[in-house]
Amino acid sequence: MRRRWCSTTSKSSSAPEQGVTVQVCNGLPQLTVPLPSRRDLCRFTLRPVTHTVQDFINQLTHEDHGIDRVLLRTADGIRISSSDSIESLLMNDFDLEINDMTYRVVVPPGQKLTLEELSDMGDVRHLVNKLYMALNVDQHQVMKEREILAQIEEIKTQLAPLEKKRENLVSAAERRTTILAWAGLGYMALQFGFLARLTWWEYSWDIMEPVTYFVTYGTAIGAYAYYVLTKQDFVLPEVRNRQFLIGFHKRAKKTGLDVEKYNQLKNKYAQLEDDLNRLRDPITLNLPKK
């Protein structure tokens, strides 16, 4: 099958006599374009499925370094995006502007791509995508998996000495928190015994009732002061966690453990593990984020 589309020159009286000629040979359009610097014709073979307008522009500028500007516009003067495919470009008439020359490429109605041809091209494009995935995606997936595993090994190497320090600090902070918790329980038991002794042995309830009131009110003041200073409610699990963190960070400064660096490495390690799991997903191909 051989098709020929002839173009006419417009918008410039100084354009060369040769126009842009388009021939379809074996399903591939071949555009013959007059080069402005050499004043001769040059043929460019394009692929409707995989090539874009930008590929055509790159071929023109590579062939003639005297080309400073290449634009493609529709017949209405609307600029055609460089990301459009050659397939969509050849569906309608268009203007090719090279430097100060403008060529009108007229596609005869009988030679435009039909819906059946477009469907065939869509099938070809789908086949090309499947071939690309079969030939390249598996290799890319293996290379990406090796890259992630190498990063995980590097992070594990950096975390190894930090993990030992952290385990010692966690043990020390746990002991400190446990001691404080038992000390609080001992203080409450001692206070209970002291007030009971004064109530039933030393004095009477009439005397100790105001004392217990002020002791209770003083405890409420202490709980409110804790909220004012820490901006946290006086809830025992939260108090315990806060004391644990205080003891942990104090000992970390003394031993030289960089907590911020440790947290960054752990977050990076978790992210890499998540990327690796998604990469190995047998259901769908979910490549890691860049």
- 53 is a domain residue: yes
- Same domain flag for 104 and 6: yes
**Of 68, 112, 70, 72, the residue nearest 95 (C-alpha):** 72
The tokens for 124 are: 């070809």
- Same domain flag for 273 and 142: yes
- Same domain flag for 140 and 274: yes
**Of 53, 56, 57, 95, the residue nearest 77 (C-alpha):** 95
Report d(CA 204, CA 181) in Å as an integer: 32
- 250 is a domain residue: yes
- 223 is a domain residue: yes
Span 156-204, pLDDT tens digits: 888 888 888 888 888 888 888 888 888 888 888 898 888 888 888 888 8
How many Cα atoms within 13 Å fall on the side-chain side of residue 289?
5
Q: What one-letter code names the amino acid at 19? A: G
Report d(CA 286, CA 172) in Å as an integer: 43
- Same domain flag for 189 and 251: yes
Span 35-80, pLDDT tens digits: 888 778 888 888 777 788 888 888 888 888 888 888 888 888 888 8
- Same domain flag for 101 and 30: yes
- 119 is a domain residue: no
- Same domain flag for 143 and 248: yes
**Of 30, 36, 32, the residue nearest 16 (C-alpha):** 36
The tokens for 220 are: 């409420």
Asked if pLDDT for residue 133 goes beyond 70, the answer is no
- 122 is a domain residue: no
Span 265-280, pLDDT tens digits: 888 888 888 888 877 7
- 286 is a domain residue: no
- Same domain flag for 161 and 255: yes
- 191 is a domain residue: yes
pLDDT at 110: 46
Query: Residue 7: how many CB atoms within 10 A of its CB?
Result: 22
Report d(CA 108, CA 85) in Å as an integer: 19
- Same domain flag for 234 and 151: yes
Report d(CA 14, CA 29) in Å as an integer: 27
What's the number of domains the chain is made of? 2
Pairing of strands 21-25, 2-5: antiparallel
Q: Are 53 and 70 in contact (CB under 8 A)?
A: no
pLDDT at 9: 38
Q: Where are the alpha helices (DSSP H) in the chain?
A: 53-63, 86-89, 115-132, 138-197, 205-230, 236-255, 259-279
- Same domain flag for 177 and 71: no
CA angle 214, 220, 223 (to 5 degrees): 145
Span 81-123, pLDDT tens digits: 888 887 777 777 788 888 888 887 766 554 455 545 555 555 6
Residue that the structure tokens 């477009």 belong to: 118
End residue of a domain, out of 113, 145, 164: 113
End residue of a domain, out of 81, 113, 145: 113
Can you give the residue range of the structural domain that contains 26?
Answer: 2-113
The DSSP line for 35-62 is: -TTT-SEEEEE--TTT-BHHHHHHHHHH
Report d(CA 228, CA 38) in Å as an integer: 84
- Same domain flag for 169 and 254: yes
- Same domain flag for 204 and 259: yes
- 108 is a domain residue: yes
End residue of a domain, out of 113, 148, 167: 113
- Same domain flag for 148 and 108: no
